[in-house]
Structure 1
Amino acid sequence: MAKNKAITLLSLGHACVDVYQGAVAALVPYFVSERAYTYAAASGIVLAASLLSSVAQPLFGWMTDRRAAPWLLPVSTVVAGLGIALSGLGGSYALTLLFVGIGGVGVAAYHPESARVARIASKGSHRAMGWFSLGGNLGFAFAPVLVAVVVGFGGLRLTPLLVFPALAGSLLTLPVLRGLERVTAAPATTTTPPAPDDTVSFVKLTLAVVCRSIVFVGLSTFIAFYVRERTGQGPAAGTAALVVLYLGGAVGTVLGGHLAERWDRVTVVRGSYLLTVAAVAGVVLTPGPALYAFVALTSAGLYIPFSLQVTLAQDYLPSRVGTASGVTLGLTVSVGGLFSPVIGRLADATSLQTALLPLIAMPFLSWLLFLTLPEPAAPSTPRRAAEDERPGSVVVTTEAPTTPASDVRRPWRPRRRSR
């Protein structure tokens, strides 16, 4: 399958999965209005999805480092959709947490394997990885609109209709999987061993991603409430702010890939985090409609590093690409949810503006961490060994990828006894 077609399908599938990450925050106001949840209880719903996703994603990454599992793409998409679709049924808080948690596990299972396949399909192109990440950002951006149309029209009882993007996304992955299976054995060639892992840099990168995640998930959870307070407008104003937050991320992701083609990734990420410090301060401190402009700047500043951090992590851990993808993609969108209840409790005790003030410091900490990070050397361009081009291997085209040979894992097969 051609590179552009594979990346396009993967990007669309990514959008269908990340709809369910954005849907959790978009559903929170409806849980508050229909079930009278407090800020702390509402943020607990975000925590349920984030906790399971942040823990499970590195585990799925470790698993796919050992055995290729492309079947996870359609299966995990359906699981994510079913969890969120069932979250609005029944009035039990515990049942709601359970279904949202199942949706989080589905999201967790999808990202490490999809990022690894996208890395191979992109042939190491930052722009192509940016387009893959763009799909997830668009899914985030579309989530509030989808929830507003479905749940805003008929209440939480209509959440089962939210399963349809998952069904579409799972179908979109099937041509990619068929393309993988059509690859046949090629003449044996020598592969280049991967570069040594830079664990220290990877840990620093992970901490920077955690700080970024706290800002993004915190704003995703409470920006709808906050904008309504600051502007004096109704629910539509809050939904509009959430859409701006997610659409700005889509612009930032594509921009990050283009900037990284001109400057190195570390330099681009440093600059984006400095921009984000000022932008988050504007969100928290600026009243009136100007708030929307700072929301857009914050979103762009947070998402310029998005795909760049994933490829940096993969280059810092070239022998464990799935684990690197699982940690960075998982933490990028989930671990911030662990801090949402803290923000919610502080908002209940003081005010929402006071609770959001600490978010200004988070991108500054990310910037400080990136000051200590090196730009990894460009990976070599080895050809794949014949044993990695058997049917079922994770290969997208018959051309040589620009990713290390360690990125291509053989799927599980029963061993044959030698006679």
Structure 2
Amino acid sequence: MELALKRKKQVGAKKELYSLGTSHFINDLMTTGIVPALLPLYKQAFNLTYTQAGVILLVSTIASSVMQPVFGFFTDKYPRSWFLPFSVLLTGLGLSATGYVNSYVWLLLAIAVSGIGSGIFHPEASRGAHLAAGNAKGAAQAIFQVGGNFGQAVGPLMIPLFLLATGVKGLGWFALFGLLGALLLMSIVPWYRESLENARLTKKKSSAGQRHILGLIGLTIVVTLRSWTHIGVAAYLPFFYLQQNISLAVADMYTFLFLGAGAVGTFIGGRYSDYISHKWLLFGSMFLTIPFAWLLPHSSGVYTTIILILFGFFVLSSFVITVVYGQMMLPNNIGLASGLMIGLAVGAGGIGATFLGWISDHFGVAFVFDLFVILPVIATIASLFLPSEKKLLGTEKEG
């Protein structure tokens, strides 16, 4: 019976889905992956304070994440297939420009341009993954989202691999990354255009699903708290270890381990989310994050490596679930739901990271890491109040 169930849960357009996942890798490598890791280089190049470095992350996340629901709301009404290749190209061009600007203001402007490209990409590409999913929504989102999270993980590796040697001027090469992503997405534009039309016709014939706004608000709060934890650790881990006289190259390797484990957690959690309760998987993810958030600042040596891997795995093992969960709560606005789950809530992490920069300036980076344990505790408690899938499906049947 279990095997029969698994056979029924099949992804539809696999080739297109893998293209979307690969482009997601390229896009997120150039935004949430590399921008936090670049903060020490930007700080040195422009003689910035921790707060000013945090503002760079704030601008990036507002443009790339907080604006996603706006783009998602617009494209729910007016989807545009050409947004896919254009968005990744814009992301790459904006990032490459940061290597050649000569002032902090122009740096922020270039970061904003790159972020806008990413903000356009995510709701549209997530809709594409939804259309390619067939009846395996969790598995499809796992393939799509793991590309982005793996891009986040690889981003910090760009620093020790070549940017430490080239300096910020080496960022010019990322224009080619953007071009590569655009060409990849151009190949699936005909399929995406046809799928959008089929979805429009199907929506006209089917009855409208009902929203669960209170559940969506609660889910957004949980994802925001998770994001504050995840992005905060990724952004300030290099600073934390630099203060312990550990080289930037080693600190970025630690960041890679944390983010790479998150990518694995994203895939495994999403792969099995079609068979496990979304609510309790989310609860378990947040609950199991707590001990590793507490242990991290008090660990050293090989224990640090183990703790970072487990911390990263558990904190993002619910990433796919929350996207699918949000789409269930807002069934007729897939772009908006995706923008809220991937964008607004994640973008709030960037805002939190800016505040953490202010705390670091006044109380030290080590103090910030002692605060990270509080966030998953609150998220764990909040997840208990979310509606179950049965309740959501029952509401839809009543509608």
Structure 1 and Structure 2 fold alike (TM over 0.5): yes
Q: 1:162 to 1:185 in 2, by over 3 A?
A: closer
Distance 1:379-1:220 versus aligned 2 partners, 3 A rule: same
Aligned partner (choices 91, 102, 105) of residue 102 of structure 2? 91
Whether 1:82 and 2:93 are equivalent positions in the alignment is yes
> For residue 284 of structure 2, what is the amino acid of its counterpart?
G
For the residues of structure 1 that align with 2:81 and 2:264, how far apart are their CA atoms?
Answer: 28
The verdict on how the C-alpha distance between 1:92 and 1:131 changes in structure 2, with shifts beyond 3 A counting, is same
| 8 A Cα contact 2:96 2:172, kept in partner | yes
* C-alpha distance in structure 2 between counterparts of 1:61 and 1:378, whole Å: 26
TM-aligned CA deviation for residue 181 of structure 1: 4.4
The answer (yes or no) to whether the contact 1:60–1:109 under 8 Å persists in 2 is: yes
Aligned length: 380
More helix by share: 2
- Alpha-carbon shift at residue 75 of structure 1 (Å): 0.7
8 Å CA contact 1:17–1:107 kept in 2: the answer is: yes
1:307-386 matches, cutoff 5 A = 307-377=320-390
Change (3 A) 1:98 1:192: same
Residue by residue, what CA displacement relative to the aligned partner does 1:311-353 show, whole Å, maximum 9, x if unpaired? 1000001121111111111034322111222211211222211
Matched residues in 2 for 1:344 and 1:244: separation? 22
CA contact (8 A) 2:12 2:135 kept: no
- Deviation, 1:281, is 1.1
1:114-193 correspondence runs (5 A): 114-125=125-136, 126-181=138-193, 191-193=205-207
Aligned match of 2:50? 39
Match of 1:215 in 2: 229
Give, as a single letter, the amino acid of the residue that structure 2 aligns with 1:224: P
1:10 corresponds to which of 20, 26, 32: 20
- Change in CA separation of 1:180 and 1:336 when aligned onto 2, cut-off 3 Å: closer
* Residue pairs, 1:188-267, within 5 angstroms: 191-230=205-244, 232-267=245-280
Q: 1:286 to 1:256 in 2, by over 3 A?
A: same
User: Where in structure 2 are there 5+ consecutive unaligned residues?
Assistant: 1-10
Q: Which entry has the higher C-alpha Rg, 1 or 2?
A: 1
2:290 alignment partner in structure 1: 277
* Matches of 1:273 and 1:2, distance apart in 2: 31
Residues 1:259 and 1:2: Cα distance change in structure 2 (over 3 Å): closer
Residue 103 of structure 1 is matched in structure 2 by 114
Query: Any idea what SS the aligned residue of 1:233 has?
Result: coil
Contact 2:127 2:335 (C-alpha < 8 Å) held by counterparts: yes
Alpha-carbon RMSD across the aligned residues, in angstroms, is 2.4
- The residue matched to 2:272 in structure 1 has which SS? helix
For residues 333 and 63 of structure 1, the distance between their equivalents in structure 2, rounded to whole angstroms, comes to 19
Amino acid at match of 1:318: P
TM-score, normalized by length of structure 2? 0.89
| Aligned counterparts of 1:152 and 1:124: Cα–Cα separation in 2 | 45
Residues 12 and 134 of structure 2 are in contact (CA less than 8 Å); yes or no, is this contact kept in structure 1? no
Residue 207 of structure 2: SS of its match in structure 1?
coil
Seq. identity, %: 26
The aligned counterpart of 1:19 is 29
Show CA shifts across 1:361-395 (max 9, x none).
11111111110112224999xxxxxxxxxxxxxxx
**1:394 — aligned with what?**
none
CA-CA distance at 1:285 after TM superposition: 2.6
Return the alpha-carbon distance in structure 2 between the equivalents of residues 284 and 69 of structure 1. 46
Report matched runs for 1:388-403 at 5 Å: none
2:335 and 2:123 map into 1 onto residues whose CA distance is 5
Q: In structure 1, how many angstroms separate the alpha carbons of the residues matched to 2:338 and 2:42?
A: 32
* 1:133 aligned partner, one-letter code: Q
Distance, in Å, in 2 between the alignment partners of 1:65 and 1:248 is 33
